[in-house]
A and B are shown apart, each in its own frame.
Chain A
Amino acid sequence: MAALYLITFGAALLIFPHLWHRGFFSGVQWNGPATLIRFWPLLTAAFVCFALAMVDELLLPGPTNAPIDKLFDTSASAWLLFGFGVTFAPFFEEIIFRGFLLPALCTAWDWAVEESTGKPAPALDANGHPQWSIFAMAIGSVATSIPFALMHAEQTAWSLGPFLLLFAVSLVLCWARLSTRSLAASVVVHASYNFLLFSLMLLGTEGFKHLDKM
């Protein structure tokens, strides 16, 4: 998985700047300073997602023998997953879903509305990024959250509870991305959410020593 992410990201770094005539992170609207300004609200959003996970575990618990549980067979693999889930996975998943898929769907919706109604396209903002309508952002968030939840559904044995949880978490991540106009914001929320989940597992297994308690 890491090899897949790295190869895709490296190729994207080479190709998209030539297509966009601008940097890759500028094109996906990384906008790191906006994240630093709103760090604490974003951290609060991560805690909200963590609370949703707790509620989901109580109301709609997932299966005990899910494929993701098999990855925690050893302490080393658990630590490896911990590092991967807090750093690599949020970064690349957010680039794919909130960096490409969500803006593309919002732009496509607005473009379809403009073509059908004949209204002119809104001007780009000061940084050259498109400005979407509220309806386009809502449609884009829902349309992005479904494949995001489906991507993780295989790891959770296609159970409904984790699927709904991941769908809700994805909506929060889309809100963070669109409200701050920063992809880094959703990366921070995603990484923080994963960190809280892995930290809870770390505490429950006493440092991944008693993995049978999971």
Chain B
Amino acid sequence: MNKPPEFDPRDPNAGSAGAGSPDKGPSSSPGSGDELPSLEALLRSAFPIPDNLAGGNGNPAPSIPESTTRFWEGPPLTEDSVLRGIASAGDVPGPANQPTDETAKPAKSGMNWLQPPEKIAERSTPRGRRTVKRIKPGLYGNLADTGSLPRDMLKDARSAANETPHQPARVEDAELKAVGSAGEAVIPVEIPPVAPANFTAAGTNKPQAAHDSPVSELEPADAVEPGLSADIAPPVEPPDATAAIAAEPQSAHQSAEEIVGTTEALSDQSIPLPSVEELARRLEDVGSPTLLTVADGSVATEAGAEPQLFQSFYKTKPRIQQPPRIPHLGHLVILIFLAALGLLGSSLLTRSALHFHLWASRPSRMRSRTFTIPSAAWPPCT
């Protein structure tokens, strides 16, 4: 006998599933003996789940972001509640919509604008803040927002993800709850090993992947350019260590130490440089002016320490031409030149004025008749 879920007045979403509906759970399978189709079948038929959630396109590993995953903590959905939700989406009976007793209303008074304390208590958290209305578990919103997936669907997706290798370790339910409640991201303590790429150059042995993954299913010819088969592609002869590493079956569970060791082994191998003649031929082909020759006609290399003639020239970077900063020293020189011209002009002007007796110095104007006669009418200068 199924019992109706208890009504929790503190939970604003408590009534969304419908009070009194049988709690059969959304995870009931079609073979459980129910007459109605299961919730999962209903959800998948009416509202197709995206591929990245349901593991479509042959990929059994759904990618659900861990840091943003939240699930709805309300009562589980049932068939009746789903149907009711489809019929009247968003019309959820809750504590605020419960029929109230008209006789219980207080008498109107001058303080009518103040809400009764019960209503204030309903809207307030213990800290006195207003509650944040949670997202209604509408089906459209749930499917569009992975953060509000029902718990059972999330659990199915998580179990499917755990069965698939090469996926990061999932966070436990308690951590997921902490994420859902606090809204903070949970960083997994253990960093999963990175699956090495299975691409190899043409002509090498095909690596054997431990698991079949979309990446590992690619043939070596797939890595070659389109239009070129593995046979046409030029063969690359790796060094010995590189060939050994390439021929070694690369496990999908290769640890970080092995990857580091592989990198070090590759770095130890010196890449054979082309000969000097080959370099000179390539430089001539591209018309580069960096080809340097010494007296004997041989191409100079760095080992000879000879070709440093134009090194600074080739190392110079193209400079961006900026607008001139004015005034600079050149303008100052021009101003000095103009001042010199002004000094010359002023001296010429003074001399010409003295020549034409426009002014005179004190001794000269004391002696000159030109200045003494007209100034006789004025008070004498001291």
Contacts and interface: CB of A to CB of B under 8 A. Distances in A.
A100 B331 contact: yes
Contacts of A107: 325, 327-329
Contacts of B320: 120
B194 interface: no
Contact of A12 (B323, B325, B338, B343): B338
Interface stretch (B73-81, B100-108, B296-304, B344-352): B344-352
A16 B322 CA distance: 19
19 contacts: A1-B346, A3-B342, A4-B342, A6-B342, A11-B338, A12-B338, A16-B334, A19-B331, A27-B327, A74-B382, A100-B335, A103-B327, A104-B328, A104-B332, A107-B325, A107-B327, A107-B328, A107-B329, A128-B323
Given A74-B382, A124-B323, A128-B323, A11 B328 contact: no
B325 A130 contact: yes
Nearest to A103: B327
Interface residues of B, number: 23
A99 interface: yes
Nearest to B329: A104
A197 interface: no
A125 B338 CA distance: 29
Interface string A58-86: 00000000000000011000000000000
- Interface size on A, as a range, is 20 to 34
Contacts of B331: 16, 19, 100, 104
Given A3-B350, A96-B335, A8 B323 contact: no
B18 to A, nearest CB: 66
- Looking at B335, B341, B343, B345, which has the most chain A CB atoms within 10 Å of its CB? B335
- Looking at A11, A99, A105, A123, which has the most chain B CB atoms within 10 Å of its CB? A11
B382 to A, nearest CB: 7
A5 interface: yes
A65 B349 CA distance: 29
Contacts of A19: 331, 334
A108 interface: yes
B339 A4 contact: yes
A3 B346 contact: yes
A157 to B, nearest CB: 22
Nearest to A19: B331
Nearest to A26: B326
A8 B339 contact: yes
Contacts of B382: 73-74
Interface in A5-47: 5-8, 11-12, 15-16, 19-20, 27-28
A152 to B, nearest CB: 16
A7 B342 contact: yes
B294 interface: no
- Looking at B320, B326, B342, which has the most chain A CB atoms within 10 Å of its CB? B326
B381 interface: yes
A108 B328 contact: yes
A4 B346 contact: yes
A145 B136 CA distance: 76
A101 interface: yes
Contacts of B326: 20, 27, 103, 129-130
Contacts of A74: 381-382
B295 to A, nearest CB: 34
Interface string B347-371: 0011000000000000000000000
Contacts of B350: 3
Contacts of A6: 342
A121 interface: yes
Contacts of B327: 16, 20, 27-28, 99-100, 103-104, 107
Nearest to A130: B325
A73 to B, nearest CB: 8
Contacts of A20: 326-327
Contacts of B328: 103-104, 107-108, 111
A19 to B, nearest CB: 7
B325 A4 contact: no
B349 A12 contact: no
Contacts of B334: 15-16, 19
Given A15-B334, A104-B332, A5 B325 contact: no
A105 B328 CA distance: 7
A59 to B, nearest CB: 34
Contacts of A120: 320
A121 B322 contact: yes
Contact of A11 (B323, B329, B341, B346): B341
Nearest to B362: A73
Given A3-B345, A124-B323, A128-B323, A8 B335 contact: yes
Contacts of B335: 8, 12, 96, 100
B362 to A, nearest CB: 9
A128 B341 CA distance: 30
